[in-house]
Structure 1
Amino acid sequence: MQPKGYEKLEKISKNIYNLCLENTHVNMAITKIGGMIRTGKVHNIIFATVDESPHCIQMHYIQDELREMMNLENINIKNYVVVNDELIEISPELILLSKKLSELKEKVSI
């Protein structure tokens, strides 16, 4: 991640865990994060990645898988991509749409 973007993330939270989905399978990440949530001590989760990475985008998909497994109503989840050292918030709806290419094709004329 871009250093200045990371510094901005540190201003939001001091509890930052690094994860590279090139090295760790997304299913393992889901299991580990799900276990952390089940402790009842997690109230906020921020998924922050670089933009345009085929591996990093999976990080944002983790929340959808977790929602299938457990109730996340009491967990505040935010998503960011870092572009030019800026944190850009991404909505859950946009993340879900990015998984549905046929629907995305209808909404974007390229």
Structure 2
Amino acid sequence: MEFMETNVGSRRLRELGRLLLYGSCIEVEWPEHLKALSAGRFAASVCMEREHYNMVGYKLACAVRASSLREVVALTVDGSPHCVQLHTLVEEVRKLIGGFEALHYVIYKGKLYRVEAEDVKLSRYLSKVARLTRGPSLSSQLSP
């Protein structure tokens, strides 16, 4: 099921109250991880390379409200510049609307990893990532 073609008030979505949003390539590349995380959740694919961030975010916000979602799970390929947007989008909607638990998973070299919300937030701040990877001496290099 494609998320952008799903009714935000879908009966099945309302009944489950738990949404798994996954990168569309996961179906073909890692169906075993998709199957494991789909249990008890309404699973819907989204391609952040094809869909605009704002459209997916608005749709998710509407789904959270219309279907009273308790949980939203994001599952993507690690390292994809497009897929990382799905994680930041879920956190942004959670911050704006709240009322649901957000979980994040990535697949790296075929293995499934849980990622914390703090990690997703950090991925938005490259200067912080740089300080973590290169140490405090980088601070002086970042100053104008």
Asked whether the two chains share a fold, i.e. TM above 0.5, the reply is yes
State the alpha-carbon separation in 1 of the partners of residues 27 and 134 from structure 2. 31
SS at match of 1:47: strand
Q: Aligned in 2, Cα 1:3/1:86: closer, same or farther, shift over 3 Å? A: farther
Greater RCO (Cα-Cα under 8 Å, separation 6 or more): 1
Find out whether 1:103 has 2:107 as its counterpart. Answer: no
- Range 7-16 or range 56-65, more displaced: 7-16
Does the 8 Å contact 1:43/1:76 carry over to 2?
Answer: yes
Does the 8 Å contact 1:5/1:87 carry over to 2?
Answer: no
Instruction: Pick one of 44, 52, 65 that aligns with 1:17.
Output: 44
Name stretches of at least 5 consecutive residues in structure 1 with no aligned partner: none
Provide the alpha-carbon RMSD of the alignment. Answer: 2.0
State the alpha-carbon separation in 1 of the partners of residues 37 and 80 from structure 2. 23
Q: Please give the residue correspondences for 1:30-45 in structure 2 after superposition, counting only pairs within 5 Å.
A: 30-45=57-72
Larger CA Rg, structure 1 vs 2: 2
Amino acid of the structure 1 residue aligned with 2:70: H
Name stretches of at least 5 consecutive residues in structure 2 with no aligned partner: 1-25, 136-144
TM-score, length basis structure 2: 0.67
TM-score, length basis structure 1: 0.85
Does the 8 Å contact 1:44/1:77 carry over to 2?
Answer: yes
